[in-house]
Every structure is written in C-alpha cells, then in structure tokens.
Amino acid sequence: MPRKKREKNTNTQPKMKGVIKGAGEVVNQEIVSTIKENYMPYAMSVILSRAIPEIDGFKPSHRKLLYTMYKMGLLGATRTKSANIVGQTMKLNPHGDTAIYDTMVRLSRGYEALLHPYVDSKGNFGKFYSRDMAWAASRYTEAKLDSICNELFKDIDKDTVDFVDNYDNTLKEPTLLPATFPSVLVNANTGIAVGMASSICSFNLKELCETTIAIIKDKNHDVMSTLPAPDFIGGGQIIYDVNVIRQIYESGRGSFKVRGTYKYDSSANCIDVLSIPPTTTCEAIIEKIIDIVKAGKIKEISDIRDETGIDGLKVTIDLKRNVDPDILMQKLYKMTPLEDSFACNFNVLIAGVPRVLGVKELLEEWIAFRVECVRRRTAYDLDKKQAKLHLLKGLEKILLDIDKAIKIVRETAEETEVIPNLMIGFGIDETQAEYVAEIKLRHLNREYILKRTKEIEDLEKEISSLQAILASKVKVKNIIVAELKEVAKKYGKDRVTTLIDPEEIKDVEIVPEIPDYNVNLYFTKEGYFKKITPQSLRMKAEQKLKEGDIIYQSYETTNTADLLFFTNKCQVYKAKAADFPDTKASVLGEFVAVKLGMDEEEVPVSMLVTKNYEGFILFGYENGKLAKVPLNVYATKTNRKKLANAYSDKAPLADILFIEEDCDIVMTSTSGRMLLLHSGAIPLKTTRNTQGVAAMRLKKGHILMKLEKYEEGRFVNPKRYRSKTLPTLGALPSGEEAESLQLKLDE
C-alpha cells in the first residue's frame, strides 16, 4: 500500500512521527491528542478504579473480593477453597487469578499485614514481614470472611449504598461498603497511581472509634488526645515526636520513625529481635547486618539467624563477650532497617475525586458517609413498614366483618372478580385486596385477628420512631455513636505499638574502627599524596615524583589522623589518612584533586594533619595581612567532607602555617625583607574567612611570599627583625646573616 501523502503542517503543536494507523499506513499524530485520547483515560482508570482507596477504606479489587465472599455465604462457620473464591471473584473482577489471590492473601489473618484482617484463612498464607515465606497456591488453602466483616456488610441489602452493573452487565456490585466503623484508617493501605500515590497507616480500632464519637459530639475535639499515634500489627515502637504526628494529622502528609523491639537473653548472650518496622522484612535486616559486619563497621556480632516460627517473628543475634546489647542495638538502629520511616500520604477518593486529607477531615468525611448510610437504611425500613402497615390496615377492615368478606368471595362467580369485589365491598385498594384474598382459612380465628391488630399498633410506633430519626440529625448521629461503641467493645484491642520519647533514645556515635599504625605522609607541590609505612620507607627511601615536582609537606603520624586539604578556591576538603591506601616510595601516589572530587580547575595548595583539632592556623596573604584561626572551627559533628569559605578570598593566599601553640614566626616578602614576630600578637578570630590584620608593610611591586616557624639561632641578631608596632617593613638580612642563611639553604 503506498504511503499517504503528507500535507503541510501548519499546527504549532508538537508532533510524534511514525505512529502506525493501519497496515502499512504511517501518519503524523499530535502528542496532545495521543495523551488526551489514550493516556488520560488510562491514568483516570488507574486513579479511580485501581490504586486509590475510597472512604470505606477499600480499593475496587478488595471490595469485589469481599463482596463475592459475602454472596457465597462465607460470613459464617464454613470455609471453602481459595481457588473457588478466586474463580467466583472473576465474575466481578476481570483480572487474572494470581492478582485476585494476591489481594486475598494481603487481607488474610495468616499473612499478618492488617491490624484487623477481613479474611479468616487456613493454610500457608505466607508472612508480611518475610519475603522468603511465600504463600501456598490457592488450591491448597481455605478461607472465609472474618467476623468483623459483619460490620462491613451490615444492612447492605437495605439500600444503604448504591449498586452498579459489573463489567459485563450480568451482576450487580456495591460502589462502597456500608462499614459501621472508619475502616479507611483501621488498616494500612498503600497504592501507586499515575501522578499520585496513597499511603495510609493503621490506627487502633478502639482509639479510632472513641475519636470518631468525640468528633461527632464536639467538632473542635483535639484528635491527638484520643488518637495519640498509629498502631501496627507487628508492634514495634514509634519515636513519638508530637509536632511530627500533629503535622501528619493536620495535613495528611509526613513521615515518622518506627523501630523494632528486642530483648536480651543473658543466658545465651544473644539479642532476640521480636518486631520490625512495617516497611521492611527480616531478610533485608539480616542481609544489611551481614554487610556491615563484613565491612568491619560492627565487630560485636558473632552470628545472626532467622528463628521465625509458629510463635512469630524472631531474629537472633549472637554477641561476643563483654558486649553491651543496648549500645549495639542503638548502632543497629542507625545502620540497618531496624529503624525506618513510614511515609504517610492520606490520599482518598471522595465522591470520585482524589483528595489528601488529615485524620480529622477523613473522619468527618466518613461520618458524613455513614450518616447517609443510616438515613438510607432508615428510609428503606420506613418504606417496608409503611407498606406492611398498609396491608394490615386493609386486613383490619376485612377482619372487622369477616362474614361479609366470605359472603363476597362465595357469591363471586369468577375468580378474576374476587379482587375488584373486595375493593368495592370494603373500600380498600388492589394491593390490600390481593393480600386479603391470600389469607388461609385457618387464620380466620380470634387469635389471628388479635395478633394482627397488635402488630398494627407496633408498626405504627416503629414508623413514628423511624420518621423521627429521619427528621433529626442528632438521632441519626446517636445511632452511629451506639454502633461505634458496639464495634469498639466487640472488636477493640489494646494498642500493640508503643510510643517512646526521642529524648529517651541514647545517641551513640558510630565510629568505624580504623586500624591504627604509624605512617609517613607526603604532599607534593603538584598535588600528589603518598601514605607510606616506616617499614616500606626503610626498604626504599628514594621518592618517585612527577618531573619538576617536589615534596612540599611531610608528616610522621598514624593511620587514624585527619587530613585537611586547602585549595585555591578558598575551600577545604577533609579526609582520613585511612581513606588513602598504603603505597611505596616508588610510585607517584594519589592525585588529591581526583581522589576527593574537587571542582573543575580546583587544586590543593596545602595539607594539614591533626588528630584532636587543637592548635591554630596562620593564613598569610600577599597583601601582608595575617589571619589567626583556631583549628577547631574546621571540626564538624556531621563529618562533612567539604567546607566552603575556608579562608578569606579578599586577597591572594601566600602561605599557610599550622602551629600547636603560640610561637615566633618569620614572614618573608619577595623583596627579601623578613619580619620576626610572636603569633600571640595576632588577634584570634573564630570566623574562618576573616581578612586578618596588617602585619607586614610591603613596598610597591612586592608581596608576602612565605610563613615559617622561627628556629633558634637562625638570625645572629633577632632583635633587628622585630618591631614594636605592626605593620612594619621588616628588615633585610645583613651581610653576615645573608651568608648564614645561604649556607643553610645550600645544606
């Protein structure tokens, strides 16, 4: 088939070429049109019909499964094979059996993912906290609805919720379940849609019912006073930051930290982890612990194993001798998923619109939903009772003169005329006449008549009560309150997740163990670094350097020392001597700029070695100024690797000198003049990028060149180079001192 001739495109919308329209036909198609016609319906389907729960707390897949089980009569004592349930559910949910069975597994008691499971399971349903404990196939397991589902389906047949056709218009299914408690917050629920997601944590049913009742009675009720925090089936501990929880309650977004619980068995010298955060698994924790032990970050552990069994979750950690279990666990909380964050995003479909609501807003929406359910149920009951009363009123007229009724029936020639004749004879309508005509002969006695008369009186009272309920919002809410109290009493449990104050947590600093041994450190003018052990240095003392390069600084220290590399961009990069590998004198060493990931065109100009960050740094600038900064201002608690504004950028840096305590120093300019002064004369500044004070006055065209410690005996007449006031020019060396200095330089 020939290609369709392309017309000139005058539309400014972006195009997507090469879209296949038919067999062999390729045309242009607007991206906007493609998104509108194809992607948007898909996105809306995922949001509205897949991933986001509604106000009853269920996604469509959950609701279809539970309703199928309800119609199968599984809200009782009898279980059936899971495969049977899956097959029946496919009449409402047109998906594969695997997806439906996975949904049922998550809702089951055996899987242990929900605080209040909806499926009473029998057989191997796996475990939520273990990725290796997989569930058995649906042909091996059995299930029925849990007793709490009585509250989900209560009065569902009384027009409490709307019903719609299933996907092939052969069955009806509910759009929502008329749950008598706020199921949307009782069990955890997560989902990822298109462009949005939902993540709802679980709350204690008893506390949630009390909170809902309190909101019904007082709109200004403080939710946190009755609903302090979420509750998880696995237990654990919530690090209870009041401000964080309140922010989640108000906005519907945020995260809080959950940690597992443990106990120490002194007889076996082991720690038993008995609960873990709901966001992780046993295997993930064990693998992480093994990794950090192999990396040498923790050395107190001798073995770890998963001992989860019929008694529940249990991960055992064997300890070495003289190990404090509490301190070790604090380390594990920091380094493993034993402490994790639960991210909340209370995104719920309200009247078909996804909305992120806080806890109180969600409960208010549920109350409004439940009010409508109760009103619809009441209206349904009222209609039924009024219809029955109408029939009994007609019966009452007949029973007052039963002989007349019998006479009319006997004297009617044709059966089709019985109903019209009764209607004429007693002044009743057709419905009443039909009902009367069906009365059995055995019921034409005094007892039956008295019972029906009494039933009329009871119906009138009930109808009056139902009408009063429909006319009063207060009475409707009182019914909801009574139902919530009943649910809390019948299904409520004590909180299993405990709350701990952040201030009670011991802050343990995790310092990786670094092997400590003597090393020699070398830093060259071209920015190369070597770390050589004394043994290796004795074997070959000659240093290999890049052509034209020289050793600029050298130190004798240990492998645990901290290194500070000052760069030409007024920054300092921090590292450990242990970060660099041991090397030999016969290699060039590590190029520091690459090793530490310095910025483009950034090079190190000086290296400083310290262990305790005690002492001072003197920064000499080309304009003759001198800045004195304590070394401890470069120490950071967070182990930052890079610090900006390490020194002033107002003038070019000439030299850096580290001194452990105040001493005499020598400043040398390019003119050859030297100034001898005591560092104590320079005021100490705690600001890293201080400009310093003027120390050496320079002649035009000359700059400060060098800073160095004064060595006794260097000058024949030291007083000649000192000055009582700063700044000063300094002095040129005399002939005798110049010769002495030259001899030292030659040496």
The CATH number linked to 626 is 2.120.10.90
Q: How far apart are CA 302 and CA 656, in angstroms?
A: 48
Q: How many residues does the chain have?
A: 747
Sign of the Cα torsion 517, 522, 527, 528 reads negative
Q: Could you give phi then psi for residue 738, rounded to 5 degrees? A: -65, -40
Please check whether residue 187 lies inside any domain of the structure: no
Query: What's this model's pTM, rounded to 2 decimal places?
Result: 0.71
Considering 129, 144, 171, which residue would you say is the last residue of a domain? 171
223 inside domain: no
Percentage of the chain modeled with pLDDT above 90: 69
Model pLDDT for residues 679-698, shown as the tens digit of each residue: 999 999 989 999 999 999 99
Q: Are residues 680 and 742 in the same domain?
A: yes
Same domain for 618 and 598: no
Question: Catalytic: which of 42, 140, 167, 517?
Answer: 140
Could you give the CA distance from residue 599 to residue 299 in angstroms, rounded to a whole number? 37
Whether residue 742 sits in one domain with residue 616: yes
Q: Are residues 420 and 400 in the same domain?
A: yes
Domain co-membership, 379 together with 469: yes
Asked whether residue 156 falls in the same domain as residue 277, the answer is no
* Catalytic annotation present for 67: no
Range of the domain at 552: 514-609
User: Would residue 719 count as lying in a domain?
Assistant: yes
Domain tally for the chain? 5
Indicate if 551 and 658 belong to the same structural domain: no
Pair 60, 128 in one domain: yes
Compute φ and ψ for 199, nearest 5 degrees. -150, 105
- Is 650 part of a structural domain of the chain? yes
205 falls within a domain: no
Same domain, 67 and 148: yes
**Residue ending a domain, choose from 337, 353, 386:** 337
Taking each helix axis from N to C terminus, what angle separates 242-251 and 359-400, rounded to the nearest 10 degrees? 50
- Does 522 score more than 70 pLDDT? yes
State which H helix or E strand residue 459 sits in. helix 446-470
Tell which of 591, 609, 627 closes a domain.
609
Task: Compute the mean pLDDT over every residue in the chain, rounded to the nearest whole number.
Answer: 90
Could you tell me if 161 and 81 lie in one domain?
Answer: yes
* Residue at 235 is within a domain: no
Q: Does 332 score more than 80 pLDDT? A: yes
Position 540 scores a pLDDT of: 67
Instruction: Encode pLDDT of 494-512 as tens digits.
Output: 999 999 999 888 777 666 6
Phi (first) and psi of residue 562, to 5 degrees: -95, 145
Is 415 found in the same domain as 329? no
pLDDT at 9 over 60: no
Is residue 358 one of the residues assigned to a domain?
A: no
Residue 129 maps to which CATH number?
A: 3.90.199.10
pLDDT digits (tens, 9 = 90+) for 564-600: 999 999 999 999 998 899 998 888 999 999 999 999 9
Per-residue model confidence (pLDDT) at position 180:
96
Instruction: Specify whether the CB–CB gap between 59 and 48 falls below 8 A.
Output: no
| Statement to judge: residues 465 and 525 lie in one domain | no
**pLDDT the model gives residue 737:** 67
Note the pLDDT of residue 389.
92
Task: Tell me: pLDDT of 20 over 80.
Answer: no
| Nearest to 211, CA basis, from 188, 200, 227 | 227
Range 459-468 contact pairs with CB under 8 angstroms and sequence separation of 24 or more? 459/385, 459/388, 459/389, 459/392, 460/389, 462/385, 463/382, 463/385, 463/386, 463/389, 466/378, 466/381, 466/382, 466/385, 467/382
Alpha helices by DSSP H, listed for 325-445, are 325-335, 359-400, 402-411, 418-426, 430-437
Question: pLDDT, tens digit, for every residue of 22-52?
Answer: 556 766 778 887 777 778 888 888 888 888 9
Q: Is residue 509 part of a domain?
A: no
Q: Which residues pair with 25 in a beta bridge?
A: 22
Residue 24 CB partners (closer than 8 Å, separation 6+): 1
